[in-house]
């Protein structure tokens, strides 16, 4: 009977699977690195770790995030936020803030 392979290891949360691989890495004292690999809506992500414990913990955290659907919001950058359609034009926004300032002033006068 063939021996079961120890690596790669898979962390499963719901329908999400995050895998941890072992690769040769000459700069580590052990000569190995542990790579966490998972897919997001923006593509494949990989993260290297020096020890297997940290890699497995990261795999568990990423699997939980992916299963909960929290990964897209966490990965948004300033550029992707700027590319979202504006909710109001700059004129509407300007009017909004002027209105807020006048309401704030009215409350301040009423309190005095």
Tens of each residue's pLDDT in the chain, 112 residues: 677 778 889 999 888 899 999 988 888 788 899 999 988 878 888 989 888 899 999 999 888 888 887 655 545 555 555 555 556 666 676 676 676 666 656 555 555 5
Residue 102 counted as domain residue: no
Residue 109 counted as domain residue: no
Q: How far apart are the first and last CA of the chain?
A: 87
Residue 89 counted as domain residue: no
Residue 49 counted as domain residue: yes
Query: What's this model's pTM, rounded to 2 decimal places?
Result: 0.57
pLDDT of residue 20: 94
Residue 47 counted as domain residue: yes
Domain that holds residue 35: 9-75
pLDDT of residue 29: 81
Write 16-20 long-range contacts (CB < 8 A, 24+). Answer: 16/63, 16/66, 16/67, 17/63, 18/59, 18/60, 18/62, 18/63, 18/66, 19/59, 20/52, 20/55, 20/56, 20/59
Token duo for residue 83: 């590319």
Residue 32 counted as domain residue: yes
Residue 100 counted as domain residue: no
Count of domains observed in the chain:
1
């Amino acid at each position: 009977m063939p021996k079961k392979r120890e690596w790669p290891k898979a962390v499963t949360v719901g329908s999400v699977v995050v895998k941890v691989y072992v690769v040769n890495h000459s700069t580590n004292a052990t000569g190995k690195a542990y790579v966490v690999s998972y897919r997001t809506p923006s593509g494949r992500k990989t993260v290297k770790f020096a020890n297997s414990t940290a890699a497995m913990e990261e795999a568990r955290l990423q699997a939980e995030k992916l299963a909960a659907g929290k990964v897209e919001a966490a990965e948004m950058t300033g550029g992707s936020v700027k590319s979202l359609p504006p909710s109001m034009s700059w004129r509407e926004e300007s009017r909004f803030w002027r209105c807020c300032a006048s309401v704030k002033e009215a409350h301040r006068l009423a309190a005095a």
